[in-house]
């Protein structure tokens, strides 16, 4: 194998390793920054797990405008989203970025079919650095309840111990559409 090809592969592998370490740190920060809330309240959950409610009334699936998969599970009465999960692509000012899992649980649905939730949370690390997470999840079910569409956002701002912004990772407004 040609030496330049070997060097090129090594550089790509090193770049992927740096990206994976950064994505892992961001995923850890996202998980650590998930707000603590009462179990009955709607909440953002970066890794939604099992929900102890009655079985699903409906499960919807689709893709986001970033071509990540999306799943929304609604309770039997159709008045609450029990779980929504998607992959969200983030672009960072440092040039890094990538996809992270994101999710929401226990979101009330209005009679009109609309829903809208958001969160902001700041967590402090042991070394004095902070991560501020913010996001939103909003949409509307069709009158027939055969599908839904809306937007999803996620943003992380990392600050050093002095409070200066070291990196910002933002999804922008991600549009999505699901059907049953």
pLDDT tens for residues 123-138? 999 999 999 999 999 9
∠ Cα 15 101 159 (to 5°) = 65
Q: Do the beta carbons of residue 75 and residue 59 sit within 8 Å?
A: no
Structural domain of 50: 3-179
In the chain the beta strands, taken as DSSP E runs, fall at 43-44, 56-64, 69-75, 80-92, 97-108, 114-124, 130-141, 147-159, 165-170, 174-179
Radius of gyration of the chain (CA): 19
**Token pair belonging to 55:** 């079985």
Q: How far apart are CA 107 and CA 63, in angstroms?
A: 20
Q: Residue 180's CB: how many other CB atoms inside 10 A? A: 16
Q: Which of 48, 17, 18, 52 is nearest to 31 (CA)?
A: 48
Q: What percent of the chain has pLDDT over 70?
A: 69
Answer yes or no: is pLDDT of 4 > 80. Answer: no
Phi, psi of 109 (to 5 degrees): -110, 125
Name the pTM for this structure: 0.70
Percent over 90 (pLDDT), the chain: 66
Tell me the mean pLDDT in the region 141-155. 95
CB 125 within 8 A of CB 131: yes
Q: How confident is the model at residue 72 (pLDDT cuts 50, 70, 90)?
A: very high
Residue 30 has a pLDDT of 45
How confident is the model over 28-53, as a mean pLDDT? 48
Contact 135, 113 (CB under 8 A): no
Residues 160 and 55: their CA atoms lie apart, in Å, by 45
How many domains are there within the chain? 1
Rounded average pLDDT over 135-162:
95
pLDDT digits (tens, 9 = 90+) for 77-115: 999 999 999 999 999 999 988 899 999 999 999 999 999
**Mean pLDDT rounded to a whole number for the chain:** 81
């Amino acid at each position: 194998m040609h030496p330049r090809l070997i060097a090129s592969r090594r550089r790509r592998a090193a770049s992927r390793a740096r990206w994976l370490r950064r994505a892992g740190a961001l995923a850890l920060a996202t998980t650590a920054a998930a707000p603590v809330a009462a179990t009955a309240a709607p909440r953002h959950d970066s890794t939604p797990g099992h929900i102890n409610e009655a079985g699903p009334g409906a499960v919807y699936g689709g893709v986001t405008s970033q071509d990540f998969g999306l799943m929304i599970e609604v309770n039997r009465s159709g008045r609450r989203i029990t779980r929504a999960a998607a992959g969200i692509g983030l672009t960072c000012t440092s040039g890094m970025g990538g996809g992270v899992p994101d999710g929401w649980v226990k979101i009330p649905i209005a009679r009109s079919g609309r829903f809208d939730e958001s969160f902001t949370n700041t967590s402090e690390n042991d070394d004095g650095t902070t991560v501020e997470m913010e996001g939103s999840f909003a949409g509307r079910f069709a009158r027939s309840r055969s599908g839904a569409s809306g937007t999803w956002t996620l943003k992380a701002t990392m600050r050093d111990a002095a409070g200066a912004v070291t990196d910002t990772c933002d999804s922008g407004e991600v549009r999505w559409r699901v059907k049953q």
